[in-house]
Structure 1
């Protein structure tokens, strides 16, 4: 285990997983760009992500969980075409589950179509919640008062993918996310029927954003606006 920063670690499994994934992509699609969490941009992906084909790879989302023996982590791979996610998959190796979607197809768990929560009441919602920044205690309290309960899994991509089949009714993270955290899972949740935006209500995938500088809110259309309001409330 090594340290990328004072609070961010990387394991040998991160590097091994990334090497395997990048090797497979290069073998089948040698002309495509790649943006990977551990090794950065390849094939001019940093300058060309807004056009052409670029694979966006998080080889191990939930590294701290993995390093501490907590069995909640995943692998996330997405293909962006002309700056928009076109296909994505999130694989949970501990449960043998793969969530996937294409931009013009259904969200799937394995081969089975899935859909976001259809609970009518916000007060019944179980929400993946990670807020920070100004007046965080007030905003967390506002969301928690409106829902049944909140949870934090330690793997953003897997938690966001869970919105696609209703394990989580909604996902709210106010910051700290990068393209590799949400490119696949955001598309999967969206194709499952959830409304997906950034934490301020704008586009959830923007190739021009710096890493770890944005958040995502995904929820069924009926309650997305209210969760957005609550998560931004300053009291």
Structure 2
């Protein structure tokens, strides 16, 4: 759920690694490609946000008082905006992302506590409660589709759960949601690739390069 603490430290986020393009696979019956178009594929997690977070982490003081990896002069040379910190804070806590798990992680790593507009623990708890309700509603749609509709409707409902988790819940919750997509019976090769690539995007956003590589390998072997 949204309250699960992410296991990976934000400073390890491998945000400079772009989301891999879905490969094309040749099989006996022809070429298999992802089924999602650029318009329908998941936009979350937002990899541009991951790059912004990476920049802020590089500029942050490290434990023990060591100098940041990127000083003010280096940040200016790299074209990093002066208001990047407040922009990221607003985006992660705002309606576009609204991810309390990620917010708590950054609140600690980037020392947001006490800064203007920093969300309180009470506000983050309220956000989690809202997400719990939303997740329950999405799961009810999966159940309804399973009982009253067909395989395609169940698949679409499962993807809705996974994409919500990728945007607003923890890495673990998102990957678990995509696993449920991948475990559906009669899943086509194209939809399998969609789910694996979106899972890899989640892993990459959170800096879990090992998991990301495993998922890409599964795409290659599918």
**Which TM-score bucket, shorter chain as reference?**
under 0.3
> TM-score of the superposition, structure 2-length normalised?
0.27
Structure with a larger share of its residues in strand: 1
Structure with a larger share of its residues in helix: 2
Greater RCO, CA 8 A, separation 6+: 2
